[in-house]
């Protein structure tokens, strides 16, 4: 028992603040919200996440923080959600999602769900997502720690 406790204490020393290994949420939307908030929120700079659209092991999230906004594509791999790409309107297109590694059926379903969920939002909010600009792929590039356990 002491060995397990010592391991957990040492892990919390290397995990970014706000990430708790033992209490990983089972709901993908909750895990994604926790990941993005703990990675990008700063004092006085809240991160607004809506919608969070999940299709299997992939998700697209609309986000706004201060004067910046966009969408993020995340994938669940090896039990962790990771950020694959950030962008604007490109991330709501099935063709882009396929190019980023999603199978055709999954990409189409995700794109359809994004359109449905964004149609329920204030059009001004949705328009801000397009302001991110060009698609930026994250994998293989230095980036703040961006994983949270997923069970």
Locate the domains of the chain by residue range.
2-137
Residue 101's H or E segment, with its range, is none
For the beta carbon of residue 142, count every other beta carbon within 10 angstroms: 5
- pLDDT above 70 (res 41): yes
Confidence check: pLDDT of 16 > 60: no
Name the 3-class secondary structure at 38. Answer: helix
Check if the beta carbon of residue 148 is closer than 8 Å to that of residue 81.
yes
pLDDT band of 75, cuts 50, 70, 90 = very high
Pairwise pLDDT comparison (25 vs 17), residue with the higher score: 25
Report how far apart, in Å, the C-alpha atoms of 116 and of each of 31, 39, 94, 143, 150 are: 22, 27, 14, 31, 26
pLDDT at 52 over 50: yes
Contact yes or no for 124/48 (Cβ under 8 A):
no
Structure tokens at 29: 């939307």
**Using an 8 Å Cβ cutoff, are 132 and 64 in contact?**
no
């Amino acid at each position: 028992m002491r060995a397990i406790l010592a391991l957990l204490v040492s892990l919390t020393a290397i995990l970014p603040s706000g990430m708790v290994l033992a209490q990983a949420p089972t709901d993908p939307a909750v895990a994604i919200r926790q990941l993005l908030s703990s990675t990008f929120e700063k004092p006085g700079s809240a991160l607004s996440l809506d919608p969070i659209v999940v299709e299997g092991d992939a998700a697209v999230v609309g986000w706004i923080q201060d004067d910046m906004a966009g969408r993020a594509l995340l994938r669940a791999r090896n039990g962790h959600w990771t950020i694959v790409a950030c962008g604007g309107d490109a991330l709501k297109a099935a063709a882009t999602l396929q190019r980023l590694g999603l199978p055709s059926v999954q990409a189409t379903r995700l794109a359809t769900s994004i359109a449905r969920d964004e149609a329920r939002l204030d059009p001004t909010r949705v328009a801000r997502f397009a302001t991110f600009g060009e698609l930026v792929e994250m994998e293989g590039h230095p980036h703040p720690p961006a994983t949270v356990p997923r069970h």
